[in-house]
Structure formats: C-alpha cells, structure tokens
Amino acid sequence: MKNLRLKAARAGLDLSQEELARLTGVSRQTISAIEKGDYNPTISLCIAICRVLGKTLDELFWPVE
C-alpha cells in the first residue's frame, strides 16, 4: 500500500526524497520504496522519519480504518 501520508508530509516541508534520506541515514531509493509501498521500514527508521517530519507514528504509518 502506498504511503501517501509520508509523501504529503515530506512535500509539505518542501523536502526532496534525497534530503529526507540524508537526514534519516538511508538511500533515496529506500524513501522512494517506502512511499511506493514496496518496502516495510524498521521501527527505528519509522521513528527517525517521524522526528524529521515532526509527525507521530500514528500519523504516518498506522493504517487508516
């Protein structure tokens, strides 16, 4: 499942995938794969992404019912 909430939060801060990747210590391809739903990140990566974007785990990674 695509993670459009992550993509929207990143874009809302005017961050490129490359910039978010650099700030979280992963590759741009990893961020792209997460946004496309092709990669399930570790909890530590999820937390790092949330910290950079100023969001909670629920806001970015918890499934919407």
Q: Where are the domains of the chain?
A: 4-61
User: CATH classification of 4-61, choosing from 2.120.10.30, 3.40.50.1220, 1.10.275.10, 1.10.260.40?
Assistant: 1.10.260.40
Going from the C-alpha of 41 to that of each of 14, 35, 44, 48, 60, the distances in angstroms are: 22, 10, 8, 11, 12
65 vs 54: CA distance, rounded Å: 22
The predicted-structure confidence for 3-55, as pLDDT tens digits, reads as follows 999 999 999 999 999 999 999 999 999 999 999 999 999 999 999 999 999 99
Per-residue model confidence (pLDDT) at position 48: 98
Q: Is the pTM of this model over 0.75?
A: yes
Per-residue model confidence (pLDDT) at position 44: 97
Per-residue model confidence (pLDDT) at position 32: 98
How would you write 41-65 as a 3-class SS string?
Answer: CCHHHHHHHHHHHCCCHHHHHCCCC
pLDDT at 65 over 80: no
Please answer whether residues 18 and 11 qualify as being in contact, where contact means their C-beta atoms are separated by less than 8 angstroms: no
